A and B are shown apart, each in its own frame.
Chain A
Amino acid sequence: MDVFEKLKILTSAAKYDVACTSSGANKKAVPGGIGSASPWGICHSFAGDGRCISLLKLLMTNVCINDCKYCVNRCSNDVQRTFFTPRELADLTINFYRRNYIEGLFLSSGVINNADYTCEQMIETLRILREEYRFSGYIHAKAVPGADTALVAKLGMLADRISVNIELPSQRSLQLLAPDKPAESILTPMEFICHRIQENISDRKTFRHTPKFAPAGQSTQMIIGATPDTDYQILRLSHALYSKYRLKRVFYSAYIPVSSNTLLPPVGSKPPLLREHRLYQADWLLRFYGFSPGELLDKENPNFNPFIDPKCNWALNHMEFFPVEVNRASYQELLRVPGIGVTGAKRIISTRRTGVLNFDGLKKLGIVLKRARYFITCGGRTVEGLKCNQDEILKSLLSKRALSMYNQGLPLQPQPEQLSFFDEPLLSEGDNRKCLTGQI
């Protein structure tokens, strides 16, 4: 089989891995070498599904000894199998990199023979890149669950980011769908990597030239919608991962049915993209806006409202917090206002030092007044002629699509039938209205 064929098979096998970021590392090319990495990352293209292509995302092999029910590469699936040799992979990466097609390599793999052997092959690929080509570009490597910690440590010295996928958000789901992957086999390497990173950071303080261990940190991925786990469970898990294991990112991946199994949504059902979107919105609120999972969801409301984004939803249920005076509010308070983001809040803080802000000024700063106007005052006043009736508010706070679905009384996402026992009973029109416009 030639490289062309292998590329085709092993790209298609890797595409369900979401992570394709190249941020977090800051490196320059070494003399005689090639490659650099910038802290904010660079997208080199966008695929037809709108997702960024930054790294050459490949599996080293799609041969796998595991039989995870949700995975295309499970051993019981009848697909063509192949593998790249470390040399082939390194050459391909360098040739793509020279042409500026990619920012680096994302290397994952099915488990061939055993976890240690797979890990050794990956290490050899990275070694060729780093030592022979003196490549300083970005490398994201997957730690193979169950591999020896010494090998994971070696991998981390060569890669910029290292990740272990959690895949399913609860132990029960994991037992059900990935019988060969006990939760410990995922959490143990995660904990090990976390410790190594912390250790390495403190070592670098003592000895400045200590080689870096995974300078761009670690990340993980969860599949959304394959199991009955609620948004609240998922968000709490993410929060724990961010605080306990200091993960840089948790990625969410709407489950796309790749196999028929009575435990899973049927093949052909639509992936829960809106739910994934809401989870990402909430994830950002956790990381940059100072929210905690308990503020966004609770046991009574364990899932996000599909019509409205989590921040707006929070604001509508906490009207006692508003209105916020733009000229005096703290950064943290500004961040809580729908329509004001991190950039907007920072601009407000620095601009108001030079003079009093009014609504025209806010517009110039890029604040989304359409949303923010219900929650702020400028110099003690609200926007002139602000109408506070339900229709106006809904029109301002809902996206166009959500609004039209809402007006027709339709659910935003058709739910696959097999999942019906997880569904919340649809809210009646009156309830819906009340929970959307809340206390305004």
Chain B
Amino acid sequence: MPDGSDIVYSYDGSFEGLLCCVFESLEKREVPAEILLKDAPQGVLFPVKNIITDIHKYDRVLSAVTDKISFSALDFARHAFLTCLPQKERYILLFLRLGFQYGASVMDMLTDEVVNTLFKAVKHLKRESHLLKGFIRFSVNSNVLTAEIEPKNYVLPLLSRHFCGRYPEEHFLIYDRTHGMALVYRPYQSKIIPIEDFLLSEPDPEEQAYREMWQLFYNSIEVEGRHNPKCRISHMPKRYWKYMTEFQNKKNCLPKLCEPCLKD
């Protein structure tokens, strides 16, 4: 692999932009030491090359990936892009370069450092999104379902299909506090949009009643003779508890979305 690690790329933060970085790297036969976001503060001494997103180059890389590597490799790269892995951009670039070298079998090269690191990151992402499919709690407020999450990875794109398929006739919103984004759905239309404002309001009596019933159910279903808090924590890490109804006391408020988002 050519060693050109005295250069740094900066890109616009989109997957399209990242594939343009891959294009640049292959064309110039260089591997950047780092790939940064355009507006990120730069503390590096290397010269920074600004990669402009060009949809034409993006298309070329995209079809090369599916032709020369595989569809599953493209899927894998897309998923890797959503993870919280530090320097994920550089790892994805290295992964795709490996892929162009070895073809479809790159997906099986789990002992390779790059593939292994990405593989673990993607596993983390998938596990988190799978857990959240269960742990998300909606509050019903004037017939709109709202929920709040604080994931490490950017899981909203993975949750979208599941929840849109599950509640086709509802209006709902899932707010991702970590990334400042929200998944908004109304019958047969969904969108992921940036959101900053998020107001809280008191639950109405009906909502409050169901919350209490759920808490009651949660507490009564435990078999006391088998109490095992360690087992619970390992299945359901504490960081998820914050937004779960069963662990909230009655005083807690429910999130209410701001007006402009409702009209969207």
The residues of A with any CB-CB pair to B shorter than 8 Å are: 3-4, 7-8, 11-12, 14-16, 28-29, 31-36, 38, 42-54, 56-57, 92, 95-96, 98-101, 103, 254, 256, 270-271, 273, 347, 350-351, 353-355, 357, 360-361, 364-365
Smallest CB separation, A132 vs chain B (Å):
14
Smallest CB separation, B46 vs chain A (Å):
30
Task: Mark the stretch among B5-13, B56-64, B190-198, B212-220 that contacts chain A.
Answer: B212-220
User: Chain A residues with Cβ under 8 A from B116's Cβ?
Assistant: 364
B227: interface (CB < 8 Å): yes
Smallest CB separation, A368 vs chain B (Å):
16
B253: interface (CB < 8 Å): no
User: Chain A residues with Cβ under 8 A from B167's Cβ?
Assistant: 29, 34, 98
User: Chain B residues with Cβ under 8 A from A364's Cβ?
Assistant: 110-111, 116
Is the CB–CB distance between B110 and A270 below 8 Å? no
B122: interface (CB < 8 Å): no
B71: interface (CB < 8 Å): no
Smallest CB separation, A344 vs chain B (Å):
11
Is the CB–CB distance between A45 and B228 below 8 Å? no
User: Chain B residues with Cβ under 8 A from A45's Cβ?
Assistant: 134-135, 218, 236, 244, 246
12 other contacts beyond A98-B140, A98-B167, A353-B105, with CB at 8 A cut-off? A34-B170, A36-B162, A46-B231, A47-B221, A48-B227, A49-B223, A52-B235, A54-B134, A350-B108, A351-B109, A354-B102, A361-B111
B153: interface (CB < 8 Å): no
Is the CB–CB distance between A42 and B134 below 8 Å? yes
Smallest CB separation, B205 vs chain A (Å):
13
A-B contacts, 10 of them at CB < 8 A, read: A4-B216, A42-B130, A49-B222, A49-B224, A49-B228, A98-B145, A99-B140, A99-B214, A271-B225, A364-B116
User: Chain B residues with Cβ under 8 A from A7's Cβ?
Assistant: 213, 216-217, 220
From A3, A8, A44, A256, contact of B134 by CB (8 A): A44
From A29, A47, A357, A361, contact of B218 by CB (8 A): A47
User: Chain B residues with Cβ under 8 A from A49's Cβ?
Assistant: 222-224, 226-228, 231-232
Q: Which residue of B lies closest to A14 (CB)?
A: B221
User: Which residues B130-185 have CB closer than 8 A to chain A?
Assistant: 130-131, 133-140, 145, 147, 162, 165-170
Is the CB–CB distance between B216 and A100 below 8 Å? no
State the majority secondary structure of interface residues on B: helix
Is the CB–CB distance between B110 and A351 below 8 Å? yes
Q: Which residue of B lies closest to A5 (CB)?
A: B216
State the majority secondary structure of interface residues on A: loop
Is the CB–CB distance between B170 and A48 below 8 Å? no
B230: interface (CB < 8 Å): yes
Say yes or no: A43-B166 contact (C-beta < 8 A), given A92-B213, A256-B225, A354-B105.
no
Q: How far, in angstroms, from A259 to B149 measured CA to CA in the complex?
A: 44
Is the CB–CB distance between B212 and A4 below 8 Å? yes
Is the CB–CB distance between A48 and B108 below 8 Å? no
Smallest CB separation, A189 vs chain B (Å):
26
Smallest CB separation, A93 vs chain B (Å):
12
Smallest CB separation, B153 vs chain A (Å):
18
Smallest CB separation, A72 vs chain B (Å):
11
Smallest CB separation, B263 vs chain A (Å):
23
Say yes or no: A32-B169 contact (C-beta < 8 A), given A47-B232, A50-B228, A99-B140.
yes
Is the CB–CB distance between B213 and A4 below 8 Å? yes
Is the CB–CB distance between B166 and A36 below 8 Å? yes
Q: How far, in angstroms, from A14 to B210 measured CA to CA in the complex?
A: 20
Say yes or no: A256-B213 contact (C-beta < 8 A), given A100-B147, A354-B105.
no
B229: interface (CB < 8 Å): yes
Say yes or no: A8-B220 contact (C-beta < 8 A), given A45-B236, A98-B140, A271-B226.
yes
Is the CB–CB distance between A11 and B235 below 8 Å? no
Q: How far, in angstroms, from A33 to B187 measured CA to CA in the complex?
A: 12
Q: Which residue of B lies closest to A54 (CB)?
A: B134
User: Chain B residues with Cβ under 8 A from A101's Cβ?
Assistant: 137, 214, 245
Smallest CB separation, B264 vs chain A (Å):
22
Say yes or no: A96-B134 contact (C-beta < 8 A), given A7-B216, A33-B169, A353-B105.
no
User: Chain B residues with Cβ under 8 A from A31's Cβ?
Assistant: 168
User: Chain B residues with Cβ under 8 A from A361's Cβ?
Assistant: 110-111
Q: Which residue of A lies closest to B107 (CB)?
A: A350
Say yes or no: A28-B210 contact (C-beta < 8 A), given A11-B220, A15-B222, A100-B147.
no
Smallest CB separation, B101 vs chain A (Å):
12
Q: Which of A4, A33, A44, A96 counts the most chain B CB atoms within 10 A?
A: A44
Is the CB–CB distance between B111 and A357 below 8 Å? yes
Q: How far, in angstroms, from A49 to B218 measured CA to CA in the complex?
A: 11
Is the CB–CB distance between A34 and B230 below 8 Å? no
Is the CB–CB distance between A99 and B166 below 8 Å? no
